[in-house]
Amino acid sequence: MFKVKLNFFDEYKIILIVLVFLSCLPFFMSTSLATEILIFGLFTSGFNILLGYTGILSFGHAAYFGLGAYTAGFVLKNCFGSVWLALFGSLVVSAIMGIILGFLCIKRKGVYFAMLSAAFANMFYFLALSPFKDITGGEDGLKEIPILMLQFPFRLSLSKPLNVYYFVFVLFVISIFVIWKIIHSPFGKVLKGIRENEERMKACGYNIKNIKIVSLVLSALFSGLAGGLYTIYLDYVPLRTFQWLTSGRVVAMALLGGTDTFIGPLVGAGIFLFIENTVSIVTARWEIFVGALIVLVILFSPGGVTGIFKKKN
């Protein structure tokens, strides 16, 4: 295996190459697969702020993805199909839930936090399934969202898949840029410090509890945005956005691509969805292949696929 030392400028260049590649994605594959890769790439990148950079594993990120999706759907149905308002709603609601769940759960460590997060996500699933069926559509999901039209900054029909792709792409690039800034900021370094040696950081005067909550909120923000974009892409909100499988998928994508690098989550989402899409044509058992790949990756390259190319510390 060749190991290449990545310094700051190399990382910059690689991300640029990946973005250029992504901008041409619809030419290599179906537009819907391309769009999903962007959406889940964003979801996984947001998720990785918490896992890769702060060292906290959540098994309940479907809570934020689903909340973002349903909020967007709800706003689109009831507020004249305003796309920007819908996405703003996704951001706000997921951030608020991040704050709430953060204060409730963040003091728990490791597997206990993972279980708590999974429990809350499941709670949302069942709330959407039954008690709030009238709002969410229950098992059938949120349907009858109006045909989407972007009004600002220019009119763009979001019923055409290619338009949707590039709309998502622009928001994706902006979000990735923001995540990049956060990772390399003083706050991002503090997160890394907590991941490396939490006790030491506490002894250096950092308010660990509050910092972890902020990390969770940032993670929830991008996950919620991804959920909102998912609704725009599907023109519908399926119940599975809250399902434990969604939480599991984002964990798998992060591990597959590598939690230690910036593009790891993007690569993981891409590989996962690509395999799902191509193998499922041949067999319904595509999950065996992804599962096997993940096992291989964990055994031979714990840093994920991108970990193969990164200099080991």
Residues that bind another protein (CB under 8 A): 181-182, 184-190, 192-193, 196-197, 199-208, 211, 214, 313
Nearer to another protein by C-beta: 284 or 313?
Answer: 313
Inter-helix orientation angle 62-78/110-129, to 10°: 30
Distance CA 145, CA 54 (A): 37
Nearer to another protein by C-beta: 2 or 8?
Answer: 8
Are the C-beta atoms of 254 and 40 separated by less than 8 Å?
no
Are the C-beta atoms of 216 and 194 separated by less than 8 Å?
no
Smallest distance from the beta carbon of 4 to another protein, in angstroms?
18
Smallest distance from the beta carbon of 283 to another protein, in angstroms?
41
Evaluate the CA torsion angle 86, 87, 91, 92 in order and state its sign: negative
Nearer to another protein by C-beta: 80 or 103?
Answer: 103
Pick from 249, 286, 256: nearest CA to 271: 256
Pick from 302, 306, 55: nearest CA to 192: 55
Smallest distance from the beta carbon of 190 to another protein, in angstroms?
6
Smallest distance from the beta carbon of 221 to another protein, in angstroms?
12
Are the C-beta atoms of 220 and 230 separated by less than 8 Å?
no
Nearer to another protein by C-beta: 88 or 187?
Answer: 187
Q: What does the CA dihedral 157, 31, 177, 228 come to, rounded to 10 degrees? A: 60
Smallest distance from the beta carbon of 200 to another protein, in angstroms?
5
Distance CA 188, CA 123 (A): 31
Neighbours of 80 (CB within 10 A): 10
Smallest distance from the beta carbon of 179 to another protein, in angstroms?
10
Nearer to another protein by C-beta: 45 or 117?
Answer: 45
Residues facing 30 on adjacent strands: none
CB-based burial, 27-64: b 16+ in 10 Å, e otherwise: eeeebebbbbbbbbbbbbbbbbbbbbbbbbbbbbbbbb
What is the DSSP secondary-structure string of 177-223? HHHHHHHTSHHHHHHHHHHHHHHHHHHTT--HHHHHHHHHHHHHHHH
Smallest distance from the beta carbon of 290 to another protein, in angstroms?
30
Smallest distance from the beta carbon of 202 to another protein, in angstroms?
6
Distance CA 253, CA 268 (A): 4
Nearer to another protein by C-beta: 159 or 197?
Answer: 197
Smallest distance from the beta carbon of 160 to another protein, in angstroms?
35
Nearer to another protein by C-beta: 166 or 187?
Answer: 187
Nearer to another protein by C-beta: 203 or 282?
Answer: 203
Nearer to another protein by C-beta: 206 or 309?
Answer: 206
